Amino acid sequence: MINYKDLGLVNTREMFAKAIKGGYAIPAYNFNNMEQMQAIIQACVETKSPVILQVSAGARKYANPTLLRYMAQGAVEYAKELGCPNPQIVLHLDHGADFDICKSCVDMGFSSVMIDGSSLPYEENVAVTKKVVEYAHKYDVTVEGELGVLAGVEDDVAAEESHYTKPEEVQDFVKKTGVDSLAISIGTSHGRCKFKPEQCTRNADGVLIPPPLAFDVLAEIEKKLPGFPIVLHGSSSVPQEFVKMVNQYGGNMPDAVGIPEEQLRKAAKLAVCKINIDSDIRLAMTGNIRKYFAEHPDHFDPRQYLKPARQAVKDMVAHKILHVLGSDGKA
Ligand code: G3H
Ligand code: 13P
Ligand code: ZN
């Protein structure tokens, strides 16, 4: 049993309380390798932002859970070395599918876990979430639950259509489970194509303009749970500069569309205090790696082509902190 506090990590409790009071959101970035972790930490130290480093089931399969945990421990020391004396870093399990994976993460030093029972019948979601909370809270690990279904791919859970969170369920769910935060569905979705073209309009340049998020549902939820931390998954903005870069240098990503930054900013000022981003990191890296290969066909050292990719992720993370989430200066 390893306690996250011994690794210099923190849970989400105080972070979320401050974010709600201050009208900003904490960035939650998925990471799978060293370059992504370096970029995220460098940007967070430079902007003095707290951060949630999150690990998905896919990341665990790709990189090995133990290595990822040591990388997060390394991130704390790395942040100190970069000049942040008291790093505010959470190591979070993203989309925990069952009690066992949540328990295993608590036991190996994670400071926060998500139990994603959103695809289960309501009472089963309540039961498994409650069980995870009871275990995690013994070690002061915070727990995120989810109500409502996001369209797109949620790790191993694929949903054709979204079902907005029902505001009438949230109070009962939070009361029965004891969760520390709640992920909701108000129109965001995972991946790089968040809306079908027929759900969008197009601007003069043919770029897709997505429909707005359901801020009325968010307002209803906030009314039922005043001051309670709300989480948005599937919140990449899918920057068109990276989509263009991918397509220009041999990729094929038609109709990629994300959540506009102004809508995330608006959500961050309301009850949303954690915003999940993964796809934008993938796009920034892939666009830049494709460009690098096209411009340097003779290069073969991964350090050469990963360097601009890492820089692009760092710049993007800093931009989001400063101009979208508002978490700069809060660490
Ligand atoms: O919510 C899903 C995340 O984007 C993680 O996806 O399992 O492919 O790492 P992944
Ligand atoms: P994106 O696919 O929009 O980056 O969402 C990531 C996410 O929600 C991880 O849990
Ligand atoms: Zn997610």
Which run of H or E residues covers position 110?
Answer: none
Token code pair at residue 241: 């500069």
Residue 168 CB partners (closer than 8 Å, separation 6+): 224
290 torsion bin: left (phi>0), alpha (psi -120 to 50), beta (else): alpha
pLDDT in tens, 246-297: 999 999 999 999 999 999 999 999 999 999 999 999 999 999 999 999 999 9
Least Cα distance to 189 among 130, 225, 149 occurs for: 149
- Span 219-248, average pLDDT: 98
DSSP 147: E
Least Cα distance to 112 among 132, 89, 142 occurs for: 142
Residue 326 CB partners (closer than 8 Å, separation 6+): 22, 23, 24, 25, 265, 268, 269
**E-assigned strand segments in 67-193:** 89-96, 112-115, 142-147, 152-154, 157-159, 181-184
Share of the chain above pLDDT 90, in %: 94
Q: Which pLDDT value is given to residue 73?
A: 97
- Inter-residue contact 200 to 257 (CB < 8 Å): yes
Count Cβ atoms below 10 Å from residue 323 Cβ, excluding itself: 11
Which 3 state secondary structure label does DSSP give 325? helix
Name the percent of the chain in helix, strand, coil, to the closest 5. 50, 15, 35
DSSP per residue over 238-287, as a string? --HHHHHHHHHTT---TT-B---HHHHHHHHHTTEEEEEE-HHHHHHHHH
pLDDT in tens, 120-151: 999 999 999 999 999 999 999 999 999 999 97
* Ligand 1 pocket check for 192: Cβ under 6 Å: no
* Ligand 1 pocket check for 116: Cβ under 6 Å: no
Q: Which pLDDT value is given to residue 152?
A: 66
Q: Name residues with Cβ closer than 5 Å to ligand 3, which is an ion.
A: 233
What number does the ligand 1 atom closest to the CA of 155 have? 7
The ligand with the least distance to the CA atom of 275 is: 2
Quote the ligand 2 centre to 309 CA distance (angstroms): 19
Least Cα distance to 150 among 20, 318, 279, 319 occurs for: 279
* Ligand 1 pocket check for 154: Cβ under 6 Å: yes
Q: Which pLDDT value is given to residue 112?
A: 98
Q: How does 176-211 read in b/e, with b if 16+ C-beta sit within 10 Å?
A: ebebbbbbbbbbbbbbbbbbeeeebeeeeeeebebe
pLDDT in tens, 3-47: 999 999 999 999 999 999 999 999 999 999 999 999 999 999 999
pLDDT in tens, 84-99: 999 999 999 999 999 9
Ligand 2: which of 40, 144, 154, 236 to mutate, most ligand atoms within 8 Å of CB? 236
Q: What are the φ and ψ backbone dihedral angles of 147, each rounded to 5 degrees?
A: -130, 130
Quote the ligand 1 centre to 156 CA distance (angstroms): 9
* Ligand 2 pocket check for 30: Cβ under 6 Å: yes
DSSP 30: E
What value does the mean pLDDT of the chain take?
96
Which run of H or E residues covers position 197?
Answer: none
201, β-bridge pairs:
209
- Cα separation of the two ends of the chain: 28
Ligand 1: which of 190, 192, 275, 277 to mutate, most ligand atoms within 8 Å of CB? 190
Distances (CA, A) of 234 to 23, 45, 138, 231, 240: 20, 24, 30, 10, 17
